[in-house]
Amino acid sequence: MSKVVLVTGANSGIGLALCERLLSHDAEGLQLCLACRNMQRAQAARSALLASHPRAQVALLQMDTSSISSVIAAAQEVKLRYNRLDCLYLNAGIMPNPQFDIRAFFRGLFSSRVVSMFATAEGILTQKDGLTADGLQEVFTTNLFGHFVLVRELEPLLCHAGLTSQLIWTSSSNAHRSAFSMGDIQHRRGTQPYSSSKYASDLLSLALNTHYNKRGLYSSVICPGFVMTSLTYGILPSFPTFLWTLFMPIFWLIRILTNTFTLTPYNGAEALFWLFKQKPESLDPQAKYHSLTSGLGRNYTQARRMDVDLHTSQDLFEKLLQLETEVDRVCSSAADGRTAYSTTCL
């Protein structure tokens, strides 16, 4: 029986490289569904995949993870098309308006924190977040909450008696506990919405295991390392792409110090692909699976313990459930014409 795999943010970067790797592994035994917000880019990605795997089954699904109504409509469509889902990759993500602190970077270069700075970008990167049409924080909704709603909506396809399914989150080494606050899960007030959203995905994955393992659904988290994609090009927008290419020899040298410099989307997708081949029951719910590339260019996956605890993960899960109910209430009253479609109160 062919496996049904859905990937969000599949039209570029790490998501697209993952699709390519999955099809190279098993082109005919998969039903791959690319969930993307921009159908033109999605179509281009599908054509590229079919060019190298002409017999593959590759479907497209329109979904904008920053819009809750779009996520719910997409989930409805998935339920019409498939009767089960084996693997759901929660990969779509944004880091809008990044601010790179050059001074902090140079201070870090000449400190004992240099390796950790290159691996995690701690202390050198902030972002300016915006609001979605629903009045939610954009980074939180795109990276985390839209995916949470998707999982909840797809529960009937993911939880099947006697069978197992997998959720695989693309998190980051930039996920820091210090950026996250339980009193402000959307990160309305801080300057590190990206780090906060990724730390929240680490917590949420643990909570999802607590709630769903007994129903055959397992959740894991990966970190792709530092990969050159449109997301990272956006960090230094004044840098033309060729300058990044000129830096490649420096990055290869840094890779000798920190094997987190995976650099290519293919290498970055290593842990995503590795997890697909594992028995979900055998995975550690408290581990983050890192894509790593050695100085000699060898790709491998390594599990590292996450800085998460059950109590905090449970608190976040409950807050997300509350927010889901609230968004649902606002959506239904908007549909009845009772209130404007806005959740600025959340």
Ligand X SMILES: CC(C)CCC[C@@H](C)[C@H]1CC[C@H]2C3=C(CC[C@]12C)[C@@]1(C)CCC(=O)C[C@@H]1CC3
Ligand Y SMILES: NC(=O)C1=CN([C@@H]2O[C@H](COP(=O)(O)OP(=O)(O)OC[C@H]3O[C@@H](n4cnc5c(N)ncnc54)[C@H](OP(=O)(O)O)[C@@H]3O)[C@@H](O)[C@H]2O)C=CC1
Structure tokens at 249: 């020899």
Any contact of residue 264 with ligand Y (CB under 6 A)?
A: no
Binding residue for ligand Y (CB under 6 A) from 20, 66, 192, 330?
Answer: 66
Of 61-69, 97-105, 243-251, 283-291, which part binds ligand Y (CB under 6 A)? 61-69
SS3 235: coil
Residue 229 binding partner per list ligand X, ligand Y, none, with a CB distance cut-off of 5 to 8 Å that depends on partner kind: ligand Y
Nearest to ligand Y of 224, 318 (CB atom): 224
Q: Which of 194, 199, 212, 289 is catalytic?
A: 194
Any contact of residue 132 with ligand Y (CB under 6 A)?
A: no
Any contact of residue 220 with ligand Y (CB under 6 A)?
A: no
What is the smallest separation between the CB atom of 39 and ligand X, expressed in angstroms?
26
Of 76-84, 118-126, 221-229, 286-294, which part binds ligand Y (CB under 6 A)? 221-229
Query: Exposure string (b/e) for 51-66, b if CB count within 10 Å is 16 or more?
Result: eebeebbbebbebbbb
Binding residue for ligand Y (CB under 6 A) from 91, 196, 209, 219?
Answer: 91
Nearest to ligand X of 65, 173 (CB atom): 173
Which conformational region is residue 212 in: left (phi greater than 0), alpha (psi within -120 to 50 degrees), or beta? Answer: alpha
Size of the site for ligand Y (CB under 6 A): 29
At 100, give phi and psi (nearest 5°): -95, 120
Any contact of residue 226 with ligand Y (CB under 6 A)?
A: yes
Residues at the contact surface with ligand X, assessed by CB under 6 A: 118, 120-121, 124-125, 172-174, 226, 232, 235-236, 247, 250
Find out whether 167 and 219 touch, Cβ atoms under 8 Å.
Answer: yes
| DSSP, residue by residue, 133-151 | TTSSBHHHIIIIIHHHHHH
194 flagged as catalytic = yes
In the DSSP assignment, the letter for residue 97 is S
Query: Exposure string (b/e) for 200-218, b if CB count within 10 Å is 16 or more?
Result: bbbbbbbbbbeebeeebbb
**Residue 323 and residue 110: Cα distance in Å, rounded?**
44
- Nearest of 195, 19, 181 to residue 121 by alpha carbon: 195
Binding residue for ligand Y (CB under 6 A) from 166, 170, 259, 343?
Answer: 170
Binding residue for ligand Y (CB under 6 A) from 58, 75, 94, 316?
Answer: 94
What is the smallest separation between the CB atom of 173 and ligand X, expressed in angstroms?
5
Any contact of residue 272 with ligand Y (CB under 6 A)?
A: no
Query: Exposure string (b/e) for 10-35, b if CB count within 10 Å is 16 or more?
Result: bbbbbbbbbbbbbbeeebeebbbbbb
Any contact of residue 193 with ligand Y (CB under 6 A)?
A: no
Nearest to ligand X of 140, 218 (CB atom): 140
Binding residue for ligand Y (CB under 6 A) from 46, 87, 89, 93?
Answer: 93
Which residues of the shown chain bind ligand Y in the complex (CB under 6 A)? 8-9, 11-15, 36-38, 41, 63-66, 91-94, 142, 170, 172, 224, 226-227, 229-232
- The residues annotated with a catalytic role in the active site are 194
